[in-house]
């Protein structure tokens, strides 16, 4: 029989007690299907990870997709996924619901999406609280989200974000007093070579929606963006440097100067037999 010394037993008891304390779930409410508490203390991105009833978002407020949204669902989204596999339609439906709602996803919309996707409501709630592009609370007409991952951080995005919040007199996830702009943060936006960057979600004219990147940020370019949004003017999307095109090096290309890239050999079906014939040895006489 394995014998364990008393100091080791004491350490094990303390470890088990600490683990039990860390994983304790908060008391249930009258809405257990949305009572979710994370076991860690993550950085807040887009709101709380536990639903709390509010005047604008509670289970007593009816919600449904519009006729136009249902046409999109039945013609463009659900046909891509067979019955029994509609769980994969969760994210497209969440995007559609957020656009229809003008920037956030109410809890009753999650119940509706769960019914359409034939999944438990908890699955939809977990998806919403995991991805930083989904919002649990109302946002302004323009939602500006700064990328906070390593390349942008190293290129000074934190300072730019702080200056922007001071300029607008808002805190993180706050909205300006006129309801025009909300400031937030986002995980990697994917254009790391052009860091720092942000994304602007335009909910000013629902159900129309746009999602535009701004890269190579400076304080002057951010200030120009804010003033253009206030004046209802368009703003420059993509790289802000005049000497950069898309994700090319600043100053222009240094390689890949051909106009059209050659296709891979495996796709050159017509030329393949000829190349194999040229490489084959001559027939014996």
Angle between helices 121-130 and 90-101 (to 10 degrees): 70
pLDDT along the chain (285 residues), means of 10: 59 62 40 34 49 83 93 94 90 94 93 94 93 90 94 95 95 94 92 94 87 95 96 93 86 76 61 52 60
Match domain 142-239 to its CATH number in 2.60.40.10, 3.40.30.10, 3.50.50.100, 1.10.260.40: 3.40.30.10
In angstroms, the CA 94 to CA 101 distance is 10
pLDDT score for 49: 63
Residue 109 buriedness (CB in 10 A; 0-12 / 13-18 / 19+):
buried
Q: CATH for 36-138?
A: 1.10.10.1590
pLDDT score for 27: 37
In angstroms, the CA 179 to CA 181 distance is 6
What is the SS3 assignment for 69?
helix
In this structure, the strands spanning 198-202 and 181-186 are unpaired
Q: Which residue is associated with the tokens 């200056």?
A: 163
pLDDT score for 180: 96
- Domain ranges in the chain? 36-138, 142-239
pLDDT score for 192: 93
């Amino acid at each position: 029989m394995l014998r364990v010394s008393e100091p080791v037993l004491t350490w094990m008891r303390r470890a088990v007690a600490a683990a039990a304390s860390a994983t304790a779930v908060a008391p249930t409410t009258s809405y257990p299907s949305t009572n979710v508490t994370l076991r860690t203390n993550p950085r807040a991105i887009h709101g709380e990870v536990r639903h709390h009833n509010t005047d604008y978002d509670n289970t007593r407020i009816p919600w449904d997709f519009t006729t136009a949204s249902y046409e999109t669902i039945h013609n463009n989204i659900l046909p891509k996924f067979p019955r029994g596999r509609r769980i994969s339609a969760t994210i497209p439906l969440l995007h559609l619901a957020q656009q229809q709602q003008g920037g956030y996803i109410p809890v009753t919309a999650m119940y509706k999406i769960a019914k359409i996707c034939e999944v438990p409501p908890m699955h939809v709630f977990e998806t919403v609280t995991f991805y930083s592009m989904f919002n649990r609370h109302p946002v302004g007409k323009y939602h500006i989200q700064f990328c906070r991952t390593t390349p942008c951080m190293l290129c000074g995005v934190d300072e730019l974000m702080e200056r922007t919040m001071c300029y607008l007199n808002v805190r993180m996830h706050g909205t300006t007093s006129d309801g025009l702009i909300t400031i937030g943060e986002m995980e990697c936006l994917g254009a790391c070579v052009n860091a720092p960057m942000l994304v602007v979600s335009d909910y000013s004219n629902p159900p129309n929606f746009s999602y535009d990147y701004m890269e190579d940020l400076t304080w002057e370019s951010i200030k120009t963006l804010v003033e253009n949004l206030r004046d209802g003017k368009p703003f420059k999307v993509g790289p802000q440097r005049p000497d950069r095109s898309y994700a090319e090096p600043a100053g222009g290309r240094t390689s890949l100067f051909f106009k059209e890239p050659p296709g891979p050999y495996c796709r050159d079906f017509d030329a393949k037999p000829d190349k194999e014939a040229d490489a084959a040895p001559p027939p014996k006489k």
